Amino acid sequence: MNPSTVARTPIARSPVAPTAPVEVVEGWEVSTRRSTAALQLADLTWLAKVAVKADANGAFSTRHPTAFGSARRPSADVLEIGSDPGGWLTIGPVGGAAELVERLTVEVADAGELVSVIDLTHGRVLLRLSGENSDAVLAKICAIDLADMVTPNLSAFRSSVAKLVTDVVRDDLVDGTRSYLLHCERSSGQHLFNCVVDAGAEFGIDIAGSG
């Protein structure tokens, strides 16, 4: 058989260059590097990302449980973010986009108004900055007040981060470690990643794999 005719399974890749070692996991090329550093940055672009857009003053927005500027976990592996008035971003497990789209489509079906459900998984980058001094790192490239009283756990905002429009979510880890999710356009992903690494150099930042 001609090798050129053999069907090949497509491999998805983040625009952020993975740090070795690299493996293909769940159809994605990802870094499987392990880190024990107190401050870590990981590329989580492979996670499912689905957006919902509705009228900010419509019935669906009025009754939706996740308010603008906040986040909640409807289940252990799903995070829902009120990213703007009438807009939500749902983050789920790798390979879970189709299931999320189906579930969210059912939720909006009886809204009686136009509500869009859009799979953004391959079009956006998602980074996690976590650990000691993560707020100090972010403060170097973002002007938002990151004090606990202003931006507590599960708060969300959109701001300029390293001069890029970025959605930021305070999403502390299970053990209470401070952590931030950074979500931006795919084309800006490597730049944002590099800027966070540069900002974290003085604090001993290390790259953690996502696989």
* pLDDT score of 21 more than 70: yes
pTM of the model as a whole: 0.94
Specify the CATH number of the domain 48-119: 3.30.70.1400
- The matching CATH number, chosen from 3.40.1160.10, 3.30.1360.120, 2.40.128.720, 3.30.420.40, for 17-46+123-208 is 3.30.1360.120
* pLDDT score of 145 more than 70: yes
* pLDDT in the model for residue 6: 54
Q: Could you read off the pLDDT of 59-110 as tens digits, one per residue?
A: 899 989 999 999 999 999 999 999 999 999 999 999 999 999 999 999 898 8
Q: Give the DSSP per-residue string, 88-144.
A: EEEEE-TT-HHHHHHHHHHHHTTSSS--EEEE-TTTEEEEEEEETTHHHHHHHHB-S
What are the boundaries of each domain within the chain? 17-46+123-208, 48-119
Largest CA distance in the chain: 65
Dig out the tokens for 204 from the structure: 């001993």
CA angle (160 as vertex; 157, 162 as ends), nearest 5: 130
Q: What number is the average pLDDT over the span 51-63? A: 93
Q: Could you read off the pLDDT of 178-204 as tens digits, one per residue?
A: 999 999 999 999 999 999 999 999 999
